[in-house]
Amino acid sequence: MNILVTGAAGFIGFHLISQLQKDNNNKIYGIDIINDYYDLNLKYDRIKILGFDRNCIKEGHIIQSNIFDNLFFIKIDLNNKKKLFRCFDEYKFDIVYNLAAQAGVRYSLTNPYAYIDSNISAFLNILEACRHYPVRHLLYASSSSVYGLNTKIPFSTKDNVDHPISLYAATKKSNELMAHVYSHLYNLPTTGLRFFTVYGPWGRPDMALFMFTKKIIEGTEIEVYNHGQMSRDFTYIDDIIETLIRLKDKIPFVSDLSILSPEKSSAPYRVYNIGNNSPVDLQHFISLIESELNRKAKIKYLPMQPGDVANTYADVADLFETVSYKPSTETRFGVKKFVEWYNNYYQIV
């Protein structure tokens, strides 16, 4: 089976490839443009573990891992339709995981055009490529941010998500709508993945756990919004990857025309929440980091940040029904694993 993972140098993409390559029946192709949204060294260090030397990476050229025989990497901008289509034509992908995106709610307030380029235009190219070079299943990253102003909790995929409050969230909602159109018009099986606050080793520097850990070690203030009155459904990376692998072969199918709801359709289309189903108070989350670091945080309390939400909480009943699995890693364990990685990676004594 030929599997494509976009966003291969990213947090989730890197971890997913690490697991997928263990099955020798798979050939895994990773694509990433490796932009400078955050530390390039972190991105290159991730894929170095997969056997890709940064000095060998040239845009548009495929290279094979020097560790794993079934693993390949191509540096491509997904907005380069010609090069992307050439990859689909040459390598005949069966499964596509589209994890490439411009992430971050707060960054979207100051750099809105990056989200249209990466999350709308690039995703359209993925859809078009999957249409013209048919794949068995397209799975793509959405976000819990699509729930926006919804107040009913836990957030359910059966709920309407028509009131996003950040451009990032709006682009992810758009991805779901675009996917449905292609599922309906071209019978393309698509599965949307609404991730809830993913964390763990090799995580992104713009995420709370990473920033808090760094600043607590440095002895500088951490910024806590909404005066600390926030909670998040923190979801450990290993649970995310296990879910993605289980969903790979759960291909949506054309169903009865009477079926129509926000999370599924008569078209081969599904959307799932992927969250821990157990929100954690942000103050408690900070205390777990403090405990692992054996240091106290200096906290600067601030009003709610525009585009942010106070609480997230995932209803994962339909996910469990489909794959007989739901994320369940305890936050204390996940924070411990992250801090261990952070100390090792940055050589903190």
Tell me, what's the pLDDT at 255?
A: 73
**CA 263 vs CA 116, 190, 272, 281: distances in Å:** 24, 11, 7, 28
Q: Which of 131, 138, 124, 139 is nearest to 185 (CA)?
A: 131
> For 75, what's the count of Cα atoms within 13 Å in the CB-facing half-sphere?
16
Peptide bond between residue 189 and the one before it cis (omega within 30 degrees of 0): no
Tell me, what's the pLDDT at 260?
A: 67
Residue 333: pLDDT over 80: yes
Residues 84 and 75 sit within 8 Å (Cβ to Cβ): no
Please give the Cα distance from 181 to 158 (Å, whole number).
19
Tell me, what's the pLDDT at 264?
A: 81
Q: Which of 168, 182, 199, 272 is catalytic?
A: 168
5 beta partners: 30, 97
Reported pTM: 0.96
Neighbouring C-beta atoms of residue 335, cutoff 10 Å: 27
Buried b (16+ CB within 10 A) or exposed e, 126-142: bbbbbbebebebbbbbb
59 beta partners: 75
Please give the Cα distance from 70 to 13 (Å, whole number).
16
Percentage of the chain surpassing pLDDT 70? Answer: 98
At a CB cut-off of 8 Å and minimum separation 6, what does 104 contact? 37, 168, 206
Q: Which of 261, 274, 244 is nearest to 144 (CA)?
A: 274
Is 186 a known active-site residue? no
Residue 257: pLDDT over 70: no
Write down all domains in the chain, each with its CATH number in brackets.
2-199+236-275+313-328 (3.40.50.720)
Residue 71: pLDDT over 90: yes
Tell me, what's the pLDDT at 262?
A: 80
More confident residue, 217 or 107: 217
Helix (H) or strand (E) run with residue 174 in it: helix 167-186
The model's pLDDT over 99-111, given as tens digits with 9 standing for 90+, comes to: 999 888 888 888 9
Tell me, what's the pLDDT at 3?
A: 98
The model's pLDDT over 178-208, given as tens digits with 9 standing for 90+, comes to: 999 999 999 999 999 999 999 999 999 999 9
Point out the least confidently predicted range of 10-19, 100-109, 164-173, 256-265.
Answer: 256-265
3 state DSSP class of 29: strand
Please give the Cα distance from 72 to 31 (Å, whole number).
9
Point out the least confidently predicted range of 44-48, 226-230, 305-309.
Answer: 305-309
270 beta partners: 191, 264
CA-CA-CA-CA torsion sign (190, 79, 81, 75): negative
More confident residue, 308 or 276: 276
Residue 258: pLDDT over 70: no
Residue 256: pLDDT over 90: no
Tell me, what's the pLDDT at 127?
A: 98
Residue 69: pLDDT over 90: yes
Q: Where do the H-state alpha helices sit in 257-305?
A: 282-293
More confident residue, 181 or 266: 181
Tell me the two tokens of residue 311.
Answer: 């609480």
Helix (H) or strand (E) run with residue 112 in it: helix 112-115
